[in-house]
């Protein structure tokens, strides 16, 4: 399959080149020249398949002949040895729990697939690949664990100082081995800006082979479509003929973009709710067609604190820069911190289910969407992006109780933090990267 840049001034590339480059030379994001489609017959066969069957079927359409099918199947099985359950928390309302991977966050789905694809392609080229990542929390830990020990790769993580939870910081600063953490004196947008500058720095590109593990990397984005496809097939059997709603906690909008990709491939998805916090630039765009990014506002839902989301470029591409066309399939709803806490509390009191703040934003937005359209009765899925233990302070505020730390996380909390503090100017990052091989 061929991929080209959303900026449309770079040469089209293969999946291998798109994966190893991350960002296109012109600063754009890679998108498929043509989104593959699944026939009705293919979808019918996949309804009774496993999650890994669905993942393999999607991956092979994008990988084509670049990865042998037996190798691709093995990589998929290495990635997804954990469950993706759908929990019913109300009549016709489901939470798709995406936090059963090794770092208790949905980023495991994309990071583990990307790590193995990068390792496979790097081995082919006999190169050392430097993976550069901006993170607001869960991306960093998922990438750290996903790439840890993968030959021919090393990872440099940039995260905003004081703006991730303690557990998230412990995860992304204690992996060691081939993983380096940089604590940036700024916000997530600063981290993202620094990463973008590095990718277009000609001196750095001559010195290192850089790629990204953010959702700007197409091989991070593609696997995020797997869980949309899986959930839509499971629920289409239970609710035949009813359009399925997905409410997506949205920050950098890679997760939502992956859902749009799944819908374009033909999976039975009707509509999306893009659930945002106070950082609502896309929500405002969907209402009036004006995209006006603002300074990032800090909220309880830190992973969604993104003022200028990168993947918005892909959404614009998929919807032909037409906000009305985008709005016909996506409704933007923003949720306040107060509403987030109240939602965690009310859901817990009603059902005993504990959700993290990001999931609560998605749940609240789905409720508001339904209130505006009474009588539809369409089944809805809220993507649960992180285990509630990662946001213990918010959970304590909401329900007055602690979430027990899973056994696999207790050991992480006792490890010493290992990170390098840098400023938010590009020279600090450039100097660190230039010294990696010295």
Residue 328 pLDDT > 70: yes
The DSSP code sequence of 94-139 is EEEE---STTSBTHHHHHHHHHHHHHHHHHHHT--EEEEEE-SSHH
192 lies in a domain?
A: no
Q: What is the pLDDT of residue 420?
A: 95
SS3 state of residue 269: coil
Count of domains for the chain? 1
**Which candidate, 213, 229, 230, places its Cα nearest to that of 221?**
213
Residue 239 pLDDT > 90: yes
The catalytic residues are 107
26 lies in a domain?
A: no
Mean model confidence pLDDT for the chain: 93
Euclidean distance between CA atoms 118 and 115, whole angstroms:
5
pLDDT top residue among 396 and 139:
396
> Which pLDDT band, with edges at 50, 70 and 90, does 321 fall under?
very high
Structure confidence by residue, pLDDT tens digits, 170-220: 888 998 789 999 999 998 889 989 998 998 899 998 899 888 787 789 999
337 lies in a domain?
A: yes
Euclidean distance between CA atoms 100 and 106, whole angstroms:
8
* Domain of residue 309, CATH code: 3.40.50.1100
Q: What is the pLDDT of residue 410?
A: 82
430 lies in a domain?
A: no
Sign of the Cα torsion 264, 266, 270, 273 reads negative
Structure confidence by residue, pLDDT tens digits, 402-432: 888 888 778 888 889 999 999 999 999 999 9
1 lies in a domain?
A: no
Q: What is the pLDDT of residue 200?
A: 86
- Give the mean model confidence (pLDDT) for residues 273-297: 94
For residue 6, give Cα distances in angstroms to 30, 73, 189, 330, 378.
6, 30, 20, 20, 34
DSSP-H helix ranges across 372-425: 392-399, 407-413
Burial class (CB in 10 A: 0-12, 13-18, 19+), 14: middle
For 395, the domain range is 84-104+221-399
Q: How many CA atoms lie within 13 A of 363 on its CB side?
A: 30
Structure confidence by residue, pLDDT tens digits, 287-319: 999 999 988 898 999 889 889 999 999 999 999
Q: What is the pLDDT of residue 438?
A: 72
98 lies in a domain?
A: yes
Q: What is the pLDDT of residue 267?
A: 97
Euclidean distance between CA atoms 266 and 228, whole angstroms:
11
For residues 161-176, one letter each, b for 16 or more C-beta atoms within 10 angstroms of the residue's C-beta and e for the rest, the string is: bebbbebbbbbbbbbe
- Give the mean model confidence (pLDDT) for residues 278-288: 95
Q: What is the DSSP letter of 11?
A: -
Q: Percentage of the chain with pLDDT > 70?
A: 100
> Which pLDDT band, with edges at 50, 70 and 90, does 244 fall under?
very high
* Greatest C-alpha distance within the chain: 65
Structure confidence by residue, pLDDT tens digits, 105-151: 999 999 999 999 999 999 999 889 999 988 877 788 888 889 988 98
**Which candidate, 372, 371, 368, places its Cα nearest to that of 342?**
368
345 lies in a domain?
A: yes
Q: What is the pLDDT of residue 44?
A: 95
> Which pLDDT band, with edges at 50, 70 and 90, does 390 fall under?
confident
Structure confidence by residue, pLDDT tens digits, 348-376: 999 999 999 999 999 999 999 999 987 67
- 358 and 301 Cβ atoms separated by less than 8 Å: yes
> CB neighbours (10 Å) of residue 352?
8
215 lies in a domain?
A: no
- 427 and 388 Cβ atoms separated by less than 8 Å: no
- Give the mean model confidence (pLDDT) for residues 64-87: 96
For residue 390, give Cα distances in angstroms to 182, 215, 221, 232, 338.
20, 21, 23, 27, 19
Q: What is the pLDDT of residue 375?
A: 62
């Amino acid at each position: 399959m061929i991929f080209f840049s959303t900026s449309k001034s770079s040469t089209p590339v293969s999946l291998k080149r798109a994966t190893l480059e991350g960002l296109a030379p012109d600063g754009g994001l890679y998108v498929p020249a043509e989104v593959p489609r699944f026939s009705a017959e293919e979808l019918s066969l996949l309804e009774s398949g496993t999650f890994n069957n669905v993942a393999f079927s999607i991956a092979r359409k994008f990988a084509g002949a670049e990865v042998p099918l037996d190798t691709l199947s093995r990589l998929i099985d290495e990635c997804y040895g954990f469950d993706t359950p759908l929990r019913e928390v109300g009549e016709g309302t489901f939470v798709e729990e995406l936090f059963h991977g090794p770092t208790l966050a949905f980023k495991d789905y994309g990071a583990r697939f990307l790590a193995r694809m990068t390792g496979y392609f790097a081995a082919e080229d006999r190169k050392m690949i430097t993976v550069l990542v901006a993170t607001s929390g869960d991306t960093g830990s998922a990438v750290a664990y996903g790439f840890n020990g993968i030959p021919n790769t090393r990872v440099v993580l940039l995260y905003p100082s004081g703006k991730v939870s303690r557990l998230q910081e412990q995860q992304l600063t204690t992996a060691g081995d081939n993983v380096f953490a940089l604590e940036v004196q700024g916000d997530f947008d600063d981290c993202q800006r620094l990463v973008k500058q590095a990718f277009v720095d000609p001196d750095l590109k001559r010195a290192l082979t850089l790629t990204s593990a953010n959702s700007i990397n197409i091989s991070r984005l593609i696997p995020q479509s797997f869980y949309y496809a899986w959930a839509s097939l499971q629920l289409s059997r239970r609710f035949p003929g009813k359009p399925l709603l997905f409410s997506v906690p949205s920050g950098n909008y890679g997760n939502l973009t992956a859902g749009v990709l799944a819908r374009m491939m033909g999976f039975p998805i009707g509509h999306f709710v893009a659930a945002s916090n106070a950082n609502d630039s896309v929500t405002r765009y969907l209402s009036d067609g004006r995209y006006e990014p603002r300074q990032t506002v800090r909220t309880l839902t830190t992973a969604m604190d993104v003022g200028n989301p990168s993947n918005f470029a892909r959404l614009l591409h998929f919807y032909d820069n037409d906000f009305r066309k985008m709005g016909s399939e996506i409704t933007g709803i923003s949720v306040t911190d107060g509403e987030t806490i109240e939602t965690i509390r009310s859901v817990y009191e009603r059902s005993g289910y504990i959700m993290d703040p990001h999931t609560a934003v998605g749940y609240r937005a789905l409720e508001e969407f339904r209130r505006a359209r009474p009588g539809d009765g369409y089944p809805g899925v809220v993507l649960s992006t992180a285990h509630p233990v990662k946001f213990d302070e918010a959970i304590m505020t909401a329900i007055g109780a602690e979430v027990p730390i899973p056994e696999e996380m207790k050991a992480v909390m006792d490890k010493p933090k290992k990170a390098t503090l840098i400023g938010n100017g590009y020279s600090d990052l450039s100097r660190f990267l230039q010294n990696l091989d010295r």
